[in-house]
Amino acid sequence: MSKFSKNFQKVTYVKHWTENLFSFRITRPKSFKFRSGEFVMIGLIDNYNKPILRAYSICSPSWSDELEFYSIIVKNGPLTSKLKNIKIGDKIIMMPKSTGTLVLDALKPGKRLFLISSGTGFAPFAALIREPETYERFENIIVTHTCRLMTELSYSQNIIQECKKNELIKEFIDDKLLSYHSTTRDDYFFNGRITELILSNKLFNDLEINSISTDDRFMFCGSMGLNNDLKKIMEKNNFCEGSNNYPGEFVLEKAFVG
């Protein structure tokens, strides 16, 4: 236990959005620095005094005093089956180094930024749409979130509304932020997988915006299958995948929670 005592942070907030989705906040060490969109290893100590750690995107923007995370509860998952029971005041391990590809520095300059997510893949974009630098770099930001059920959209809808009301952020948004929510099971305003909505141009028609152009940049975060399908769409448009060292037209997250 002592080995990780210096990495413990205190839980300050917990909210369960559905039976299987919850968000929580922890204290932020004064020495901890990160870029909006990055992830960090967090976890708990198991019954054998060993750490269970997983990669979690940080939902908070880089300027936030606390660190927020958004999690699914994986049935019998080594970490999330325990993490779902955390309460305010509990301690969580957070390792001191953040990393990730869903950062602004990994993209070439462009005019529109598309942030495409499914499920808990919205997490890094919760940080990026609250980051003033995002609006300084791009003329328009289009964030999409696709889930099976309407209730699973609640977290992202809440964050987007918070952006539009927050005194610090709303002055940067200035009508630059567009959002698009869709479901694959429930009957909703917009239905279908986001890949189908892109390929059919329905996404662009619904938002009354132009379809994909060379000035567009993309970030996406979802299941491995979704990420691979989106990557194929990007490559058909002659877009190259970016990284911290070699910026490109699109980036995707490769770390998954279990």
Total domains in the chain come to: 2
Domain limit, last residue, from 64, 99, 134: 99
Q: How many CA atoms lie within 13 A of 178 on its CB side?
A: 16
pLDDT in tens, 3-45: 777 899 999 999 999 999 999 999 999 999 999 999 999 999 9
Q: Are 231 and 116 in contact (CB under 8 A)?
A: no
- What value does the mean pLDDT of the chain take? 93
pLDDT in tens, 87-103: 999 999 999 999 999 99
In this structure, are 61 and 116 located in the same domain? Answer: no
Domain limit, last residue, from 45, 73, 99: 99
In this structure, are 216 and 203 located in the same domain? Answer: yes
Question: Which two tokens mark 135?
Answer: 């609006």
Mean pLDDT of 51-64: 95
pLDDT in tens, 178-225: 999 999 999 989 999 999 999 999 999 999 999 999 999 999 999 999
Mean pLDDT of 104-130: 97
Whether residue 142 is contained in a domain is answered as yes
Tell me the CATH number at 151.
Answer: 3.40.50.80
What domain range includes position 46? 2-99
Cα separation of the two ends of the chain: 23
Helix (H) or strand (E) holding 170: helix 167-173
Distance CA 24, CA 70 (A): 7
Whether residue 257 is contained in a domain is answered as no
